Amino acid sequence: MVASPRPLQKLFRRQLKPAIAPYLLISAHIRMENLISRMQAVQSPIIPIVGELIRQYPGTISLGQGVVYYGPPPEAIAQIPQFLSDPTNHLYKANEGIPPLLEAIAAKLRTFNRIEINEQNAVVVTAGSNMAFMHALLAITSVGDEVILQTPYYFNHDMAITIAGCRPVFVPTDENYQLRPEAIAQAITERTRAVVTISPNNPTGVVYPKAALQAVNQLCRDRGIYHISDEAYEYFTYNGVPHISPGSFAGSDPHTISLFSLSKAYGFASWRIGYMVIPASLSVAVKKVQDTILICPPVISQYAAVGALQTGIAYCQEHLHAIAEVRRLVLSELQRLDNLCTVAPTEGAFYCFLKVHTDLPALQLIERLIREHRVAVLPGDTFGMTEGCYLRIGYGALQKETATAGIERLVKGLQSILS
């Protein structure tokens, strides 16, 4: 009688397994390394790292946070009972966002950004503008494609590009952190899919002028690639400097992706609501990504966002005066470091980006500032500035008294360490 194949297979495995066990372990190890290699290439978020240092030294004042000191407007909170009154709100809602919020966003885009929503573009609500950026990447790229970032760059953009299996291409800005359209043009290759701009800028605080943004937008149009414009800090400009949205330029709809957030202007960070304006041709692709990752944005947050947008820019402007006062204080105090640091002129967001005249690595300098002087900032390395020592100062999260104490500690600390 011929033996059944199944028992023979079991016997073969029992006899062979001890002999090949070491090779199976090696093979499994190799496979595991391959599984984690994608994330090994992604830089670690710096904020938790600095946060752990802060926890080790109680009383440290953080000048590293990229949030505002205030919370949502009462009109946002007032929308919660309305959300709760409708049982269907506990079910999935429209992929791109609830109609009342889409209408409120369209009205805001029309009046503030000069962007008209029409048959050539579309709005998609997301869980913050970081998610909107990832949606855009997945919709327009394939593995191995290139995306151009300006250095210093926003670290989450660099991380997202790498996670998507693409390659970030870094183009240095000028000595005042302004765009260099000619250098951007030279960096474009056949694998380039998009150029990213952030204005007002994180981490530098600069605002890009209309002419520079037009030059980049036209370049993208001519080369058949996308212009991704991150405008999370759109309301945070000073001294009458206007915010410019590239999506408002004539003929920009087919190649411009505009990203917005409620996190800063409306004190909405944990509510996770942002939105994007995309070319109509990308609607199907973006909604595929949205349905896979999120299905729909959190509906309770969308209701709150409707209330927030109803207050308009006026709510942010109420608090912008206080932030502007802190900004003046920070810039005035930093003048005491003229011989130790270079501070480029800025007119937006709530950041300063210092070039420190030292050979100390930025993170080592920050560790000493926390340990010896109880003040924290972020290292420029995480924003792509690996040559030299750079620090990002954030002042939007602090009341005037705390900001005063923090910047005094920073100035005295740098003077003590570097002298």
Q: Give the model's pLDDT for residue 128.
A: 95
Strand partners, 186: none
C-alpha pair distances (Å), 283 with each of 26, 167, 319: 45, 24, 35
Q: Indicate the fold that domain 46-66+314-418 takes in CATH.
A: Aspartate Aminotransferase, domain 1 (3.90.1150)
Q: Give the model's pLDDT for residue 42.
A: 85
Residue 82 structure tokens: 């309305």
Q: Give the model's pLDDT for residue 1.
A: 44
Q: Cα separation of 196 and 173, whole Å?
A: 13
H helix or E strand, kind and range, residue 172? strand 167-172
Q: Is the pLDDT reported for residue 384 higher than 70?
A: yes
Average pLDDT over residues 26-55: 75
Question: pLDDT class for 12, splitting at 50, 70, 90?
Answer: very low
All structural domains of the chain with their residue ranges: 46-66+314-418, 81-311
Instruction: Return the residue matching tokens 């760059």.
Output: 153
Q: Is the pLDDT reported for residue 288 higher than 50?
A: yes
The CB-side HSE value for 342 (13 A sphere, CA atoms) comes to 10
**Per-residue pLDDT reduced to its tens digit, 52-98:** 889 999 999 999 888 999 999 999 999 999 999 999 999 999 999 99
Which phi and psi angles does 67 have, rounded to 5°? -130, 170
C-alpha pair distances (Å), 392 with each of 94, 144, 270, 315, 384: 39, 31, 22, 27, 12
Strand partners, 375: 61
Q: Are strands 226-230 and 167-172 parallel, antiparallel or unpaired?
A: unpaired
* Average confidence score pLDDT of the chain: 92
Residue 55 structure tokens: 């926890």
Q: Cα separation of 114 and 172, whole Å?
A: 29
- Contact predicate 132/259, CB 8 Å: yes
In this structure, the chain runs to a length of: 419
CATH of 81-311, one of 3.40.50.1000, 3.40.50.300, 3.40.640.10, 3.40.190.10: 3.40.640.10
- Contact predicate 251/218, CB 8 Å: no
Buried b (16+ CB within 10 A) or exposed e, 175-198: eebbbbbeebbebbeeebbbbbbb
Q: Give the model's pLDDT for residue 25.
A: 59
Residue 117: is it exposed, middle or buried by C-beta count within 10 angstroms (0-12/13-18/19+)? middle
**Per-residue pLDDT reduced to its tens digit, 259-280:** 999 999 999 999 999 999 999 9
SS3 331: helix
